[in-house]
Amino acid sequence: MIIRKFKPNDKEPLISLWKRVFPDDPPHNAPESVIPQKLAVDDLIFVIEMDSAIVGACIAGYDGHRGWLYAVAVDAPYRKNGLGADLVNYALNSLKRLGCQKVNIQIRSDNHAVEDFYKTLGFVKEERISMGKFL
């Protein structure tokens, strides 16, 4: 298992992975557009490679004030064996090296399994109202 930064030849396997893991994502999260948009800003996309296949990935962000984790995904057959934790910790360490001191995530309010996963990694629920606006 290797965790590393995204390479251009990872694009199609990553799109396929995210479509499997997030089948009901809204159109504005389509990986075909998110990947190039993210790479235009920075290269904080990380993948898990096993046996020459992309089996996990996440996007991280850092704006100089706080960090974010987006679209953390591990393919279903590879879950429950620590790969997700390894991926998140890799991303967190990468953000820390950039000077990031706090990382946020947003998960759907009914996704209790993912909430429990992040709690095992030391994340705590913060009472906030998340708001957004499409432009």
CA atoms of 38 and 62, how far apart (whole Å): 12
Contact 54, 13 (CB under 8 A): yes
β pairing state of 2-5 and 67-74? unpaired
Segment 82-108 mean pLDDT? 97
- Confidence tier at 49 by pLDDT (50, 70, 90): very high
In CATH, the number for domain 2-120 is: 3.40.630.30
| CA proximity to 102, closest of 119, 123, 129 | 123
Q: What is the structure's pLDDT at 120?
A: 96
- Tell me the mean pLDDT in the region 73-77: 96
For helices 112-120 and 83-97, angle between their N-to-C axes, nearest 10 degrees: 60
Q: What are the structural domain ranges in the chain?
A: 2-120
